[in-house]
Copies of this chain bind each other. A is one copy, B any other.
Amino acid sequence: MIQYKRISREQLYAFSVAVLKKLGCDEVRSSIVSDVCLEADMRGISSHGIARLPRYRDHIQQGLIDPKAEPELLFKTGVSAVYDGHHGVGHYVSKIVCEKAVELAQKNGMGISVVRNSNHYGIAGYWAEQMMKNEMIGISSSNTAPLVVPTFGRQAILGTNPIAIAIPSYYSSPIMLDMATSVVSRGKLEVYSRNLQPIPYGWAVDAQGKPTDDPSEVLENVKNHAGGGIVPLGGESTQFGGHKGFGLAFIVELLTAGLSMGTSSLHTYKKHGNISHFFMAIRLDLFGDSDTLLQHMQQIAMEIKQSEPSIDKSEILIHNELEYKNREDALKEGIKMDIPTYQKLQSLAEHYALSLH
């Protein structure tokens, strides 16, 4: 049983903003980083929550992230925009670039904006949802540090390369798929490693490209570029479709680093983060009356929700439904924080003479 504390969003937000200001971020940057992180925490995705603050601090102090940099618009058409993030704060860069996609879609129906030389942008779903709030289909994707081994390979050359797609509807929770294109995230391996537990075969391969159940070895190998890593969605072979997850990760490289003339995952996190992102906004009323479409989307979701569960399950979960319930709960009762994370943030608070709550 994991022990945890509950702390209100307001308290954590104030703390996070204060820390980021100490690190040289202005009001806007501190606010957007804190908002994105706390959206992850509220949804129960604590791997992308404010537990990342010490890592962002390290990246700023090491010069990977420039807390003052402004993204620069390099190229533009009526439906597209290409930016250079100039190694700025990933969430801030993404806010500007994502808003551009929305602006283009508002004017011309659709918009794609891409950016190179950015940094970690939090959960991909945050950005897809921002677009969806404007009654648009929102698609957001990013490459990441190299962690994933292609089918038949043994080098972690691909990122976990998330794809998030949000679709407007009248369904009771916002419909959004937010998935790493790998079978699991690095965060999951870290949990097993800390608990000295073996991972299931089918999550990762060793330095030779063979299936392994040792998470610590995999993490160590990835860190040292010694070979091996996490496998794509579908597993290490083609038997269960690993080449499909590999294909999705590959397409993400092309849509992010490719279209922005950025750096593929393999070459990220050297002098700078050098992460590339992709944002696409598509206005729902491009396809007819919005209200009718919002209802139709709801009906399709309801049909799946109400289909019969397997004999040992009680219900089918629509994507983002659980996260949305977590979020509602966190807003009412406070954000759940496990004790190691709490202690980590507490020591950050002490270092900067701030109070966590």
Is there contact, CB below 8 Å, between A286 and B153? Answer: no
Map CB proximity to B onto A118-155 as digits: 1 under 8 Å, 0 otherwise. 00000000000000000001000000000001111111
Taking a contact as CB atoms closer than 8 A, the residue among B82, B205, B266, B318 that contacts A310 in the complex is: B205
How far does the alpha carbon of A57 sit from the alpha carbon of B131 in the complex, in Å? 45
Taking a contact as CB atoms closer than 8 A, the residue among B165, B282, B316 that contacts A150 in the complex is: B316
In the assembled complex, which residues on chain B have CB atoms less than 8 Å from the CB atom of A292? Answer: 261
Is there contact, CB below 8 Å, between B79 and A264? Answer: no
Q: 27 A-B contacts, Cβ less than 8 Å apart?
A: A80-B287, A114-B287, A150-B304, A150-B307, A151-B317, A153-B307, A153-B309, A153-B316, A155-B307, A157-B307, A165-B251, A167-B254, A167-B258, A169-B254, A183-B234, A209-B313, A210-B311, A233-B233, A233-B241, A250-B304, A250-B318, A250-B319, A253-B304, A254-B300, A259-B287, A259-B293, A264-B300
Cβ of A75 < 8 Å from any Cβ of B? Answer: yes
A249 CB to nearest chain B CB (Å):
9
Of residues 153 through 196 on chain A, the ones whose CB sits less than 8 Å from some CB of chain B are 153-155, 157-158, 165, 167, 169, 175, 177, 179, 183-184
Map CB proximity to B onto A69-94 as digits: 1 under 8 Å, 0 otherwise. 00000110111101000000000000
Taking a contact as CB atoms closer than 8 A, the residue among B110, B165, B239, B303 that contacts A200 in the complex is: B239
Most buried by B among A248, A254, A264: A254
Taking a contact as CB atoms closer than 8 A, the residue among B75, B108, B309, B310 that contacts A79 in the complex is: B108
Is there contact, CB below 8 Å, between A209 and B286? Answer: no
Count residues of A near B (Cβ-Cβ below 8 Å).
86
Taking a contact as CB atoms closer than 8 A, the residue among B112, B151, B179 that contacts A244 in the complex is: B179
How far does the alpha carbon of A287 sit from the alpha carbon of B108 in the complex, in Å? 17
Is there contact, CB below 8 Å, between A77 and B233? Answer: no
6 A-B pairs besides A152-B317, A233-B234 with CB distance below 8 A are A151-B316, A209-B309, A210-B311, A250-B301, A254-B301, A260-B287
